[in-house]
């Protein structure tokens, strides 16, 4: 139980203070801020996602405070969690938005983010999405290839607008992080303009009357276990900024991307003071406004997935805890082999080594394997922690199981921000009768 205890008792240093845990045990049961999780489960049912507003605010503020040494903009990465209720909380803090699809752009605008508080990135932007971003007037389109630049130019010309772009470059640095699938800034990754191609793409963009090269961007990976890739990446980006400036690029923004980690186990919180020491002097020396695009860091620890134990079952020597949530609610364990701390909301005493699995017809449907955790019985409520990022947004309806609701807690209040999907919702898009088209 060492790691679990450390998880719940841990407070990590962040240079300018500490980040508190969003979930606390009081009178034998687990609370999110001023609300007992049992009350939420009794009313909203399970499975259900719960988020602490305060935890998000605290992380946003800590990062903002760490970067005070330079003009900066924090663009929250909607891909981590794009629920309207969360976006409202973050926007009220002064946070901006980073989107990767026309859908996320729609969500950001719907949540009230001003177009020039939105950055549009992504490796596979469609032409219609680029057009929508130009029509909206986003701050920057982060261009990832020569072919994409051509489409941005064509669309900007057709619309009679000037496209403000940044180059998202692949700095081709060594990235050590939690899983190979979330490393993005090493040689051979699909993301960003390959380092060697940047001069040619830049030459084309600088010659174009339809685009303005306003920024440079990188995103080396997510859940970075060390800040070294930032150091290496921003050094390369700075070198590029100087070269491009000398060629006449009217640069204004220096974007260090996302990637700050969250605590899933007994890790330390990221050292934001050290992060600032890496990025602030570089942006300052270049006279550029610093942009960061955090997702996971801001929302992961605010979230817990509530699930109820349906059955206990022994099979072939494995002790299974079968729950009403599985890979369809939280894909990270099976997709990334990710660790999420799990505890009983009201422990009954004792511990067991178990596999925590869901109801999906896949052997890969699990939330934890071979895990020493609270002993539980059918009917018990479990909290799966650090589920606020890349949780609900990756939820599936596989096996025709409606998606869970999302609940936002703020002090002693809570509200359903996304209702539970119904079976009717699941079949709504299916044609009731076939309307054939003759070829």
Ligand X SMILES: Cc1ncc(COP(=O)(O)O)c(C=O)c1O
Query: In the complex, what is the shortest distance from the CB of residue 31 to ligand X, in angstroms, rounded to a whole number?
Result: 26
Q: Which of these is catalytic: 32, 95, 323, 361?
A: 361
Are 216 and 255 in contact by the 8 Å Cβ rule? The answer is: yes
Confirm or reject binding of residue 192 to ligand X (CB under 6 A). Answer: no
Query: In the complex, what is the shortest distance from the CB of residue 142 to ligand X, in angstroms, rounded to a whole number?
Result: 7
Residue that has been written with the tokens 């049992």 in this structure: 38
Confirm or reject binding of residue 47 to ligand X (CB under 6 A). Answer: no
Binder to ligand X among 296, 308, 371, 385 (CB under 6 A)?
296
Cβ nearer to ligand X, comparing 37 with 118: 118
Query: In the complex, what is the shortest distance from the CB of residue 436 to ligand X, in angstroms, rounded to a whole number?
Result: 41
| Residue 250 C-alpha from the chain's centroid | 30
Cβ nearer to ligand X, comparing 97 with 134: 97
CA 24/CA 317 separation, integer angstroms: 34
Q: Give the Å distances, CA to CA, from 393 to 108, 232, 292, 324, 327.
A: 15, 31, 21, 18, 12
368-397 residues near ligand X, rule: CB under 6 A: 389
b/e map of 315-344 (b: 16 or more CB within 10 Å)? eeeeebbbbbbbbbbbbbbbebebbbbbbb
Cβ nearer to ligand X, comparing 53 with 222: 222
Binder to ligand X among 22, 37, 48, 80 (CB under 6 A)?
80
CA 397/CA 127 separation, integer angstroms: 29
Name beta bridge partners: 408: 51, 415
Q: Looking at 119-248, list the stretches that DSSP marks H as alpha helix, in order from N- to C-terminal side.
A: 127-136, 146-159, 198-207, 228-246
Q: Is 95 a catalytic residue?
A: no
Closest CA to 119 of 156, 66, 168, 161: 168
Confirm or reject binding of residue 222 to ligand X (CB under 6 A). Answer: yes
Confirm or reject binding of residue 259 to ligand X (CB under 6 A). Answer: yes
Query: In the complex, what is the shortest distance from the CB of residue 182 to ligand X, in angstroms, rounded to a whole number?
Result: 7
SS3 255: strand
- Among the listed ranges 265-273, 292-300, 325-333, 430-438, the one in contact with ligand X (CB under 6 A) is 292-300
What are the residue numbers of the active site? 361
Tell me which residues touch ligand X (CB under 6 A): 77, 79-80, 98, 121, 219, 222, 257-260, 293-297, 389
């Amino acid at each position: 139980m060492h790691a679990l205890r450390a998880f719940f008792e841990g407070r990590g240093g962040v240079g300018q203070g500490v980040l508190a845990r969003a979930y606390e045990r009081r009178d034998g049961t687990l609370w999110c801020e001023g609300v007992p999780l049992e009350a939420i489960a009794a009313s909203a049912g399970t499975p259900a996602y719960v988020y602490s507003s305060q935890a998000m605010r605290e992380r946003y503020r800590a990062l903002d405070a760490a970067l005070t040494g330079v003009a900066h903009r924090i663009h929250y990465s909607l891909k981590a969690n794009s629920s309207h209720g969360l976006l409202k909380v973050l926007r009220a803090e002064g946070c901006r938005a980073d989107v990767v699809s026309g859908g996320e752009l729609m969500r950001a605008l719907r949540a009230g983010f001003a177009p020039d508080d939105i950055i549009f990135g992504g490796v596979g932007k469609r032409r219609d999405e680029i057009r929508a971003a130009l029509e909206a007037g986003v701050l920057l389109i982060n261009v990832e290839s020569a072919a994409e630049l051509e489409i941005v130019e064509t669309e900007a010309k057709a619309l009679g607008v000037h496209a403000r772009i940044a180059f998202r470059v692949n700095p081709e640095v060594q990235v050590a992080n939690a899983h190979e699938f979330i490393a993005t800034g090493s040689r051979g990754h699909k993301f960003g303009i390959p380092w060697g191609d940047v001069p040619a793409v830049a030459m084309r963009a600088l010659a174009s009357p339809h685009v303005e090269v306003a920024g440079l961007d990188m995103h080396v990976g997510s859940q970075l276990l060390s800040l070294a890739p930032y150091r290496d990446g921003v050094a390369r980006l700075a070198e590029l900024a100087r070269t491009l400036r000398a060629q006449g690029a009217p640069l204004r923004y220096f974007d260090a991307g996302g990637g700050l980690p969250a605590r899933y186990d007994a890790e330390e919180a990221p050292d934001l003071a050290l992060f600032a020491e890496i990025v602030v002097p570089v942006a300052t020396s270049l006279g550029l406004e610093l942009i960061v695009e955090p997702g996971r860091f801001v929302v992961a620890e605010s979230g817990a997935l509530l699930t109820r134990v349906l059955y206990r079952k022994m099979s072939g020597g494995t002790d299974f805890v079968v729950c009403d949530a599985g890979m369809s609610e939280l894909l990270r364990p099976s997709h990334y082999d990710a660790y999420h701390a799990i505890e009983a909301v009201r422990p009954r005493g004792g511990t067991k080594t178990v596999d925590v699995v869901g109801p999906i017809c896949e052997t890969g449907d699990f939330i934890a394997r071979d895990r020493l955790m609270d002993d539980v019985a059918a009917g018990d409520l479990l909290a799966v922690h650090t589920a606020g990022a890349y949780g609900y947004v990756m939820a599936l309806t596989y096996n025709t199981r409606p998606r869970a609701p999302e609940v936002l807690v703020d002090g002693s209040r809570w509200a359903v921000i996304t209702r539970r999907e119904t079976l009717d919702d699941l079949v709504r898009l299916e044609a009731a009768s076939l309307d054939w088209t003759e070829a």
